[in-house]
A and B are shown apart, each in its own frame.
Chain A
Amino acid sequence: MLPRVGYETVKQSTREEQWAAWLRLAIKGDAQAYNRFLVDVTPQLRRMARRRCDQFGAPASEAEDVVQEVLLAIHLKRGTWDPSRPLGPWLATIVRNKLVDSLRRRGRHVNVPIEDVADFLKAVDETHEAADRIDTETILARLKDPQRDIVRSISIEGQGIRETAARLKMTEVAVRVALHRALKSLAALYRSE
């Protein structure tokens, strides 16, 4: 069992423990810790997705869509991680399943061995974001009304929950609920693509 730690005390521990600590805080509502986790995980996911796409001669923009799908899966299913257990096996399984699922839907039949995914917990890589294939306007057009406004407000205009709620004359709770639903809709859009 991993000890409960804040970020300043885990400088020497491994990346996995660091991620677990951030995610544990995030589940309780610490947005900053969650952001650190996501920003740190993404380059690793990107490296894996790129490697798979290169293998099939698929463009980097397709890899970026795969990255977003995996991120959405991590986000929507993070409640299934038991914080008293190590993060590694949970994360590796969810990443592998979504990676295989996403690539298969794009017509690339793959079999990703779990060891391959487990490796990414250790590797360090600084790959930068590629152009995405599905642009924001296309996605926004497919969302329903309060969700669309909220997504635009938070992601493009960089507003917080409170400002968005004030501007749209909604309660903060309603904005949070709509945001959560919007993320679910995004995952569904990818699935139905």
Chain B
Amino acid sequence: MKTDDLITLMTHDAPVSMRYSRVLALAFGASVVFSAVLLVGTVGLRHNMASVFETWRVLFKIVITLVLAVLAARLAVRIGRPGAEIRLTALSLGVPLVTVVAAVVVELSVLPEHAWRARLVGQNALFCLFFVPVLSLAPFAGLFWALKKGAPENPAAAGAAAGLAAGAIAAAIYAWHCPDDSPLFLATWYVIAIASVSAVGALLGRRWLRW
């Protein structure tokens, strides 16, 4: 095919049907609402939410998962845009990471040693491992759909970022139900759940996000 002919074809396809920023907004908006409704409609919010809110552990859990979700979502947004800054955005994920490590140290220092194990295992570890990935399905699908329209330089990294954001959004939603409040629980089971979703994202991204 002649390049001039190709240019003629492209000229006739000039308008952009949906701008990438709108694609992203739609993907995030719809999937977050879907997963939040899924939580409220199935297992529901924690019944004594208001009364436990003042304890630092609950507040920490809610805030740190939200911060992680926002920072990971920022990375997923930028990674599909050619020329966008991503190094600092990726490094910013270190902030919640270091904060969780610090919270674990505090928890270990305020708890007697014999209580560590019970707090780490909690009451609902297996359910957390099951339900965080379930809640991540909609954001995962939404972000993959969006990134497919994007132009990520490294498809595996983009998939991992999408999985991380989906897992973190799911964790931030699940935190409103979860009865286990210790940072030991958070640093173990939440991290395993989010990391698994991110790993699946990397694997699928390598295949699906090439362009």
Chain A residues close to B by CB (< 8 Å)? 26-31, 33-35, 38-39, 42, 46, 64, 67-68, 71-73, 75-82, 89-94, 97, 129, 132, 134-136, 139, 151, 154-156, 158, 160-161, 176, 179-180, 182-183, 186-187, 191
Give every chain A residue within 8 A of B13 (Cβ-Cβ). Answer: 75, 176, 179-180, 183
Given known contacts A27-B16, A132-B2, A155-B1, A179 and B151 CB-to-CB distance under 8 angstroms: no
A89 and B4 CA atoms in complex are apart in Å by 26
Q: Given contacts A73-B211, A80-B150, is CB(A93)–CB(B12) below 8 Å?
A: no
> Nearest-CB distance from A115 to chain B (Å)?
14
Contact of A38 with B10 in the complex, beta carbons under 8 Å: yes
| Contact of B54 with A by CB under 8 A | no
Question: Which residues from B are CB-within-8-Å of A39?
Answer: 7
Q: Give min CB distance, B76 to chain A, whole Å.
A: 13
Residues of A within 8 A of B15 (CB): 26-29
| A31, A129, A155, A191 pick with most chain B CB within 10 angstroms | A155
Question: A67-B3, A80-B151, A93-B153 are known contacts; what are 6 more A-B pairs with Cβ within 8 Å?
Answer: A27-B14, A31-B12, A75-B13, A77-B151, A79-B17, A161-B12
- Residues A68 and B1 in contact in the complex (CB < 8 Å), given A30-B14, A77-B211, A97-B151: yes
**CB distance A73 to B1 under 8 Å?**
no
Give the distance in Å from the alpha carbon of A7 to the alpha carbon of B8 in the complex: 20
Establish whether residues B82 and A80, one from each chain, have CB atoms under 8 Å apart when the complex forms: yes
For A135, list chain B residues within 8 Å (CB): 1
Shortest distance between the CB of A41 and any CB in chain B (Å): 10
Nearest A residue to B15 via CB reads A29
Interface residues on B, range: 20 to 34
Residue in A46, A93, A182 whose CB lies within 8 Å of B83: A93
- CB B12 to nearest CB in A, in angstroms, measures 6
Contact A82 B1 (CB under 8 A): no
Complex: A34 Cα to B149 Cα, angstroms: 20
Q: Within the complex, what minimum Cβ distance (angstroms) separates A48 from chain B?
A: 14
B154 to chain A, nearest CB (A): 9
B1 A71 Cβ-Cβ under 8 A:
no
Q: Is the CB of B8 within 8 A of A158?
A: yes
Name the CB-closest residue of B to A188: B211
Closest residue of A by beta carbon distance from B80: A80
Give the Cβ gap from B138 to chain A, nearest Cβ, in Å: 23
User: Any chain A CB within 8 A of the CB of B126?
Assistant: no
- Among the 9-residue stretches B18-26, B32-40, B98-106, the one with 4 or more Cβ atoms under 8 Å from chain A is B18-26
Given known contacts A78-B16, A80-B20, is B7 in contact with A72 (CB within 8 Å)?
Answer: no
Residue B57 interfacial (CB < 8 Å): no
B11 proximal to A (CB < 8 A): yes
| B10 contacts A183, C-beta separation under 8 Å | yes
List, in ascending order, chain A residues with CB within 8 A of B2's CB. 129, 132, 136
Q: Are B9 and A151 in contact (CB under 8 A)?
A: yes
